[in-house]
Amino acid sequence: MAGAHRIVVKIGSSSLTSASGRLDPARPAALVEVLAGLHRQGKSVVLVSSGAVAAGLAPLGLTARPTELSEQQAAASVGQGLLMGTYGAEFGRYGIQVGQVLLTAGDITRRDHYHNARRTLKKLMLLGIVPVVNENDVVATHEVRFGDNDRLAALVAELIGADLLVLLSDVEALYDGDPLAPAARPIAEVRGPADLAGIRTGTPGRSGVGTGGMAAKVQAAMTAASAGIPVVLAAAGQAARALAGAGTGTYFHAAPQRPAEQLFWLAHATAPQGRIVLDADAVREVREHGGPVVWSGVTAVEGQFTAGDPVDLADGAGRPVARGLARLASGDLIRLLAGFPVPQDGPAALAYPEVVGAQDVALFAPHAYAGTGTG
């Protein structure tokens, strides 16, 4: 860990707020002191910070995180500015500039935008500026959003080729159950999905301002680890120790090999536009050889997608096995399956038996983690 050079640090709302749920300026200040130390050592740091909604509560006269979307957006609009003001001032004390990077889900799920975001982040790092990333909550809706900043942090870590992801929260580590239960035990290391068997992860903690909960953190940690990036999950107050590799928190070992970037993006960053259901032989072909999927192995087509869209490849029970890029639009595929003749002037791909090419298939891990809501 001490040898990591490109580091993504994510801090949750619960670690930036006081007991009343309001932004507590002392907390970002403490984190910035640690990150400035890394910057001084010549390391590149990207900060993914939640807290926009929490920071907007007091100015809007709210006492708790609003449930209505437009109110959340209004709070985020006010709070994000305050948050950046705080980070700008705190990093400024160490002579470090910050750059605000607000991302929407489409900036990651669309391939061209993905490259665009990468270019900007890399340029900022090259200039010695610390990018401060958050979801663009002002325009994010329930349907179109990352879901939580833990996932966003894992995607950003892959995007910039990080060699360490640190997830900071208000809890010291991943526990095998509700951390407040007397019998709960911290987990020091996770080497793979088997180490997560039986672990119970609940929804957000008692702060009332977090959104994803521990399940989101574990999912994000496994996503980053599968991309070859080690992850430390620790308490925000232990950030310095966690970054120094002092053995605090939970360490998620990275997969030995980084998957091809395009396949990681496909599996973790895209949103499926539909589903292609496969027969048993086709499922085996995908699982054992990674495809291709030929149209004779397709039993059903669900949703509406166009050629080039990401789709889930499912088995007969509807379980997603992999994600792939469809070569045909759903309408053309349905016509092909119904035995209609291939139109002479139709897309060239119609004459081709592959529905998804082998180079466009990203397999899902059988089980990411055994998280179940405990509240």
Ligand X SMILES: N[C@@H](CCC(=O)OP(=O)(O)O)C(=O)O
Q: Taking CB under 6 A as the rule, does residue 21 contact ligand X?
A: no
- Give whichever of 75 and 322 is closer to ligand ADP, judged by the CB atom: 75
Q: Which of 131, 210, 292, 371 binds ligand X (CB under 6 A)?
A: 210
Q: Taking CB under 6 A as the rule, does residue 24 contact ligand X?
A: no
Question: Are 148 and 134 spatial neighbours (Cβ–Cβ below 8 Å)?
Answer: no
Q: Which of 8, 12, 230, 266 binds ligand X (CB under 6 A)?
A: 12
Question: Are 315 and 304 spatial neighbours (Cβ–Cβ below 8 Å)?
Answer: no
Number of chain residues interacting with ligand X (CB under 6 A)? 17
87/9 Cα distance (integer angstroms) = 14
DSSP 194: G
Q: Taking CB under 6 A as the rule, does residue 259 contact ligand ADP?
A: no
For residue 14, the minimal CB distance to ligand ADP (Å) is 3
Count of CB atoms situated within 10 Å of the CB of 335:
17
Touching ligand X, residues 157-176 (CB under 6 A): none
For residue 97, the minimal CB distance to ligand ADP (Å) is 26
Stretch that binds ligand X, among 51-59, 183-191, 235-243, 269-277 (CB under 6 A): 51-59
Q: Is position 122 annotated in a ligand binding site?
A: no
48/15 Cα distance (integer angstroms) = 13
| 156 contact choice in ligand X, ligand ADP, none (CB below 5 to 8 Å, kind-dependent) | none
Cis ω for the linkage preceding 292 (within 30 of 0): yes
Q: Which of 73, 169, 219, 270 binds ligand ADP (CB under 6 A)?
A: 169
Question: Are 119 and 164 spatial neighbours (Cβ–Cβ below 8 Å)?
Answer: no
- Give whichever of 12 and 274 is closer to ligand X, judged by the CB atom: 12
Sequential DSSP letters for 314-372: E-TTS-EEEEEE-SS-HHHHHHHHTTPPPPTTS-GGGGSSEEE-GGGEEEPPS-S----
SS3 301: strand
Which residues of this chain interact with ligand ADP, rule CB under 6 A?
12-15, 169-171, 174-175, 177-179, 200-202, 204-207, 210-214
Which residues of this chain interact with ligand X, rule CB under 6 A?
12-14, 50-54, 76, 134-135, 137, 148-149, 210-212
